[in-house]
Amino acid sequence: MDSNKKYGADLIERYLYAVAKRLPKEQRADIEKELAGLIDDMLAEKAAGGEPSPEDVRAVLLELGKPADLAAKYRGSKNCLIGPDYYGFYITVLKIVLAAVAGGLAIALTIGAIAGGRGNLLEYFGNAVSNLVSALFQAFAWVTVVFALMQRYNAKIDEKGKQWNPSDLPEVPAKKARIPKSEPVAGIVFTVLAIVLFNGAPEIFGIHWFGETHAFVPIFDMDVFRSMLPFINAVFVLGIVKELFKLAIEKYNLKLAAAVTAINIVSLALTLHVFASPAIWNADFITQLQAVQSFAMPADFDLVYHWGRVPHYVAVVAVFGCVVDTMTTIAKGIRYGRGR
């Protein structure tokens, strides 16, 4: 295959990939096949039976338009507030966030009902539904506002920038370099769940006894915990931002490695500030445990010593996790950051 033919085939492959990745998974194969056939027909007509040149390929792709716009036509969607460049990503993130908020609140409310006793079930159920609707509405509003701002900012850049050119299409990443959507999606879901639980049901973090009476021993000093919530939430938000970077970039490269490294450093600093300090941990944890009649202190395990070492253990785990995640992402970024 000569260089011109190879370049044309590569450009078509990049265009097909750019369109397909914006489509629902179940439609991608069929639409990609259909679009490839359409491009072949247009090239045959353009080349008048001869061998299509790179200029012919560029002309056909320009005629088809930006991948995001073409994908929007295939989806049959007319987007105003959120344009085709972001619509698919917006829907994905919105589904993730709404599902995570609903699941997290359901868990938090269930725990609250169990820990707080039955009380007036009808009143509790009414408040629960009200809180759920309010939380879902807020989640929807914030996600929509963020993407609307992204769309507006991107539109201003497009107005000032040059016209779209097929040569600007990013290369199709190697399969091993691609990040499956399931990974960042799972990360976002669990992070949102953590946000809901830490903010809405901090009583989950402790030891519960359910006997004739309910006993609860918190692992945190709740006053200090509440004062640290802004820092804890900042760690979670940074975690979501990191996963959004993965969803948006879709592959390991040096840009993602730099973003992950910066986010991990800040997150680690905040995590150590909060959890490596003895202040946030319940200083009376052992005493409160011993006060529970059914609890027996283990004979062959120095619980008092190890509880005092909890901040150290948390720091070690946090640093280890940060280093592994950062170095893994950097290694993959270096390996796959150039070319395909």
Instruction: Say which residue, 229 or 212, is predicted with more confidence.
Output: 229
Integer CA distances (angstroms), 168 to 39, 58, 171, 256, in order = 18, 11, 9, 19
Closest among 69, 57, 62 to 19, alpha carbons compared: 69
H or E, element range at 16: helix 3-20
Residue 331 confidence class, pLDDT cut points 50, 70, 90: very high
Contact 104, 200 (CB under 8 A): yes
Q: What is the mean pLDDT of residues 5-10?
A: 80
Q: What's the confidence (pLDDT) of residue 180?
A: 84
DSSP β-ladder status, 206-210 and 214-218: antiparallel
Rounded CA-CA distance 13/29 in Å is 13
Rounded CA-CA distance 196/191 in Å is 9
Q: What is the mean pLDDT of residues 227-232?
A: 94
Cβ contacts of 55 within 8 Å, gap of 6 or more: none
Half-sphere exposure of 241 (CA within 13 A, CB side): 15
3-class secondary structure, 276: coil
Q: What's the confidence (pLDDT) of residue 159?
A: 44
48-104 pLDDT, tens digit each? 767 888 888 888 888 888 887 788 788 765 545 676 666 777 887 888 888 878 877
**Overall size of the chain counted in residues:** 340
Confidence check: pLDDT of 112 > 70: no
Per-domain boundaries in the chain: 1-77, 79-165, 205-340
Q: What's the confidence (pLDDT) of residue 171?
A: 77
Contact 184, 239 (CB under 8 A): no
Rounded CA-CA distance 305/313 in Å is 12
270-319 pLDDT, tens digit each? 999 999 999 999 999 888 887 775 666 666 778 788 889 999 999 999 99
Integer CA distances (angstroms), 258 to 184, 278, 334, in order = 17, 32, 11
Give me the residue label for tokens 């049959």. 76
3-class secondary structure, 162: coil
